[in-house]
Amino acid sequence: MKSCSDLFRYDDGYLASDDWLIVAGAVWVEDNAAGLGGAANQAIALRAQTIDSREHLVRTRFTFENANDTPYVGLLLRAEYDTTGSPSFVRRAYLVTISGAGNIRVYSLLMGVAEPLLIGSGSIDLSVGADEGHTLIAKVRDGLHCVQEVTDILVYVDDQVSPALVVRDARTSRPEGLYVGFDIADTEGAESVALGEFYAHVLRSSVVKNPQPVPELKNFGDIQYELGYRLDRDGDSQTDVNIRRELINYAHQEVWREQVWRWAFRVFYFYTQAGLRRYEMPAYVGLEYDVVETSNGIQIGKQTRQDMRRVDPGQTRSGTPTGYTILGYGDLGGLVLELNRTPQGQCLMELPYYAKPIPMIEDTDIPIIPPEFNEILLWGSLRRGAMLAGLKDLYAQAAGEYSKMMADMIRAEHRTLKGLTRMRSAIRLDRTRVVASRGPVTQAEALGF
């Protein structure tokens, strides 16, 4: 289901349509608008069918009759609806609310936690009255492919271009569901909030992300199987599964050491905690590029530990961090980053970095190199395996193929679309004449093949 919509064109009475799952309370429909019955103070409803993607937009048209912080209208996004218990419940979700006072809040709901986690808030001037209709839109989308573990929530009020609030969620417990719905609340019996429309659809970024079948990704188990097949053709294997796993991991590290690869660039996000100066990064953070405090867009300068001590010997300064240093490696093998000023609270930090391969353990682990070059891990492993087994012909073949594929990877690293376009224009001009003593210039020659 790419989209869903409802104008609440039902007979007056409680909403009990097959299109909706009533999670809490009761929804009263009257004159093509959904609201609360006289005795209810909250109602939560989800669409019975799930949306097709976690990247989606949800919109509602609403009215308030008073400007208090209650009533409010809320949109549920990425809801996970658990039907294993009785009654069914929402396990996790994002909840975007706007109140009659114009206060906007973004919550992350998690079953078992007493209070929803407020992850963003803002306010907007909102005219209130029975004839004052407004539109609330919320988008939820994942970050770009180079941004790990990040979700953006964008909130629009009466404007489909400029968001009134943008929230970035980098927690590991982010909602991942496909249900959408609404949450309305009011003081008991007030009946001063109404919804006139509900609509949801998949964002275009989700539609165009994979316009054609994705090439098959080889995981650690696939590479182990193929390596064993190529090494054991004569039925006299000199390697076991543990050795083959090590050979692949050695080849993985060897490719990464060749140079600083463009495809190894990533962005990592983490939150600071009040009073905590030191943070151990994941083991795959190989070389930090920069650190940015995202609330103010401040780039934090790198310092030596001696300089940090010089300006703050007792490490007593606190506030928004203005500098950092690297203290080496921590207990889990990751870089330890120390901030200069001790954070007073939660700040979202952005760390661009170059990833390094960590040993693959599970068969489902995926190499960090691009999938079109995964075979280089086989040739690198075969070269070591053949040397171990004394297979000279196989060693020579594997070493030659490894070198050729490494050259292909390096050439691909330096190509750009702009450079290729300009090169093709030059080739078309060159092909109209014959260069002295050389003959026609081919495209392959011009590109360095």
Amino acid at 247: L
Closest CA to 135 of 111, 158, 164, 166: 158
pLDDT of 266 > 80? The answer is yes
C-alpha distances out from residue 303 to 268, 277, 306, 307, Å = 20, 14, 8, 6
Residues 200 and 322 in one domain: no
Answer for the pair 128, 103: CB distance below 8 angstroms, yes or no: no
Residues 39 and 139 in one domain: yes
Among the ranges given (116-125, 139-148, 217-226), the one the predictor scored with the smallest mean pLDDT: 139-148
pLDDT of 201 > 60? The answer is yes
Residues 236 and 341 in one domain: no
pLDDT of 37 > 50? The answer is yes
Residues 115 and 229 in one domain: no
**What is the per-residue pLDDT across 293-346, written as a single tens digit (0 to 9) for each?**
888 888 888 888 888 888 778 777 888 888 899 998 888 888 999 998 889 888
pLDDT of 417 > 70? The answer is no
Residues 224 and 333 in one domain: no
314: number of CA atoms within 13 Å, CB side? 3
- CATH label of the domain that carries residue 131: 2.60.120.560
pLDDT band at 183 (very low <50, low <70, confident <90, very high): very high
Does a structural domain hold residue 38?
Answer: yes
pLDDT of 122 > 90? The answer is yes
Residues 52 and 88 in one domain: yes
pLDDT of 426 > 80? The answer is no
Map tokens 């068969």 to a residue: 363
Does a structural domain hold residue 323?
Answer: yes
**How many domains is the chain partitioned into structurally?**
3
Does a structural domain hold residue 437?
Answer: no
Residues 72 and 187 in one domain: yes
Q: What is the CA radius of gyration of the chain?
A: 29
Does a structural domain hold residue 42?
Answer: yes
Does a structural domain hold residue 170?
Answer: yes
Class of residue 300 by CB neighbours under 10 A (exposed 0-12, middle 13-18, buried 19+): buried
> Tell me, what's the pLDDT at 443?
54
> Tell me, what's the pLDDT at 216?
66
Give the best-scoring range by mean pLDDT among 7-21, 141-155, 426-440. Answer: 7-21
Residues 280 and 245 in one domain: no
pLDDT of 379 > 80? The answer is yes
Residues 26 and 169 in one domain: yes
> Tell me, what's the pLDDT at 396?
93
400: phi then psi, degrees, rounded to nearest 5: -65, -45
Residues 53 and 139 in one domain: yes
**What is the per-residue pLDDT across 55-100, written as a single tens digit (0 to 9) for each?**
999 999 999 988 888 889 999 999 998 877 777 788 899 999 999 9
Does a structural domain hold residue 128?
Answer: yes
pLDDT band at 113 (very low <50, low <70, confident <90, very high): low
Residues 384 and 311 in one domain: no
To the nearest whole percent, how much of the chain has pLDDT over 90? 38
> Tell me, what's the pLDDT at 132?
84
> Tell me, what's the pLDDT at 214?
53
Residues 338 and 377 in one domain: no
pLDDT of 224 > 60? The answer is yes
Q: Which domain holds residue 348?
A: 262-355
Give the best-scoring range by mean pLDDT among 39-43, 198-202, 424-428. Answer: 198-202
Does a structural domain hold residue 228?
Answer: yes
Does a structural domain hold residue 90?
Answer: yes
To the nearest whole percent, how much of the chain has pLDDT over 70? 85
